[in-house]
Amino acid sequence: MSEVSPLELQDRLEIPRIALTMRLRLNKGGLYIFAAETEDARQAVLNALAKEINTKVTWREVEITSRRYDLFLYLQHLVQKERIDTRHTIFSVTGLPKAIRAQQKKSPQQQPPLCVNALNVRREVIADHNLSVVLWVDEETRKRLPYDAKDFWAFQLETRCFRDAAARQREHFAPSPPVPLDQEIAELRDLLQRYRERRSDDKGGMAAIAWDLGVKLTERSQFLAAQEALTESLWLYREVGDVRGQAFAVSELGTIARVRGELDAAQRSQHDALQLFREVGDVQCQAFAVSELGTIARVRGELDAAQRSQHDALQLFREVGDVRGQAFAVSELGTIARVRGELDAAQRS
């Protein structure tokens, strides 16, 4: 690749390896889930992969929409109708994040959205028809798929987020204006009140707004108001039976309790949140709850328990490939080592 590529160096170095995997799997099929920070980065990856694979391969662009959401059923139809040679075709699929947002807006109670569920239930189409599929998503969707579509995720051979170095450089010199947090809080309060007055039956919608309001108030250090909003969110999530929503609300309440120095309440909340995250199989959020329990133990001076928790959290973060979470757990282990006076271990962490 040329030096003017928007991709970061480590991404450019990874592409030949990924391309080799795809080339070797062409006659067998495979799933590759990639996120790219910008469209420029995505196009750079596509061009580089096409060049590196270096064989007579046709790249077929396909878009998932909120109406045409059953991707593999559509690909199966396309292969049969057009007699596509899957040995020399790679389907480049876009549109999943947009379809998810559209379906969530239309049917907020449908979890996961239909387009994600369709990926899960029809995953066998990949193997049955030897399909090579590159699924382009945003980073948030890539992190959610292991939990919302576990069986589908099991079929992936590669998953990676490609960073746009050029875009990051532009942002460095021309940063986005700061988010007007107070305005967001005011708008959320107004929106929640309008829901209470006009859409009181939409408890799931109100729960989501109340949770968002609680998080924003926490950022503003308005802890009492944040607790009220998050408690309302928790009760609403309980009424609609949304276990994941309950877990997030309880976890946020625990974080507030820790910041306020209410360590017993914080510990209870994080234990409850951990149990709820286990119920829904959310490993990444389990890791955050375990790490938070480790932080609470450290603040109490219970360093052995804190160290065990951070090691457990680190292992969970590794399971789901959350590098940022791993970094946080390792940093916490370094802090524990520093408090113990183990300065070499602290420096290594």
Contacts of 293 (CB under 8 A, 6+ apart): 267, 270, 271, 274, 309
Question: What is the pairing mode between strands 58-63 and 30-36?
Answer: unpaired
Nearest in space to 322 (alpha carbons), one of 314, 330, 332: 314
Q: Hey, what long-range contacts does 59-62 have (CB within 8 A, 24 or more apart)?
A: 59/89, 59/90, 59/92, 60/84, 60/89, 60/90, 60/91, 60/92, 61/92, 61/94, 62/91, 62/92, 62/93, 62/94
Q: Tokens 């708008």 map to which residue?
A: 187
> What pLDDT sits at residue 14?
87
How many DSSP H helices and E strands does the chain contain? 18, 5
Contacts of 264 (CB under 8 A, 6+ apart): none
Q: How far apart are CA 207 and CA 201, in angstroms?
A: 11
Contact yes or no for 234/271 (Cβ under 8 A): no
Note the pTM of the prediction, 2 decimals.
Answer: 0.50
For residue 297, which amino acid is it? A
What are the φ/ψ torsions at residue 132 (nearest 5 degrees)?
-105, 115
For residue 320, which amino acid is it? V
User: Helix or strand or coil: residue 314?
Assistant: helix
Question: What is the pairing mode between strands 132-137 and 58-63?
Answer: unpaired
Q: How far apart are CA 314 and CA 217, in angstroms?
A: 29
DSSP state of 93: E
194, with CB counted inside 10 A (0-12, 13-18, 19+), is exposed
> What pLDDT sits at residue 3?
45
pLDDT, averaged per 10 consecutive residues of the chain (349 residues), comes to 64 88 89 92 91 86 88 91 90 93 88 91 90 93 89 89 80 59 86 87 87 88 91 92 91 89 89 90 88 87 88 87 83 84 82
Nearest in space to 242 (alpha carbons), one of 211, 213, 283, 197: 211
> What pLDDT sits at residue 177?
58
> What pLDDT sits at residue 171?
60
> What pLDDT sits at residue 2?
40
341, with CB counted inside 10 A (0-12, 13-18, 19+), is exposed
DSSP-assigned letters across all residues of 131-162: -EEEEEE-HHHHHHHHHHSHHHHTTEEEEEEE
> What pLDDT sits at residue 5?
58
> What pLDDT sits at residue 172?
58
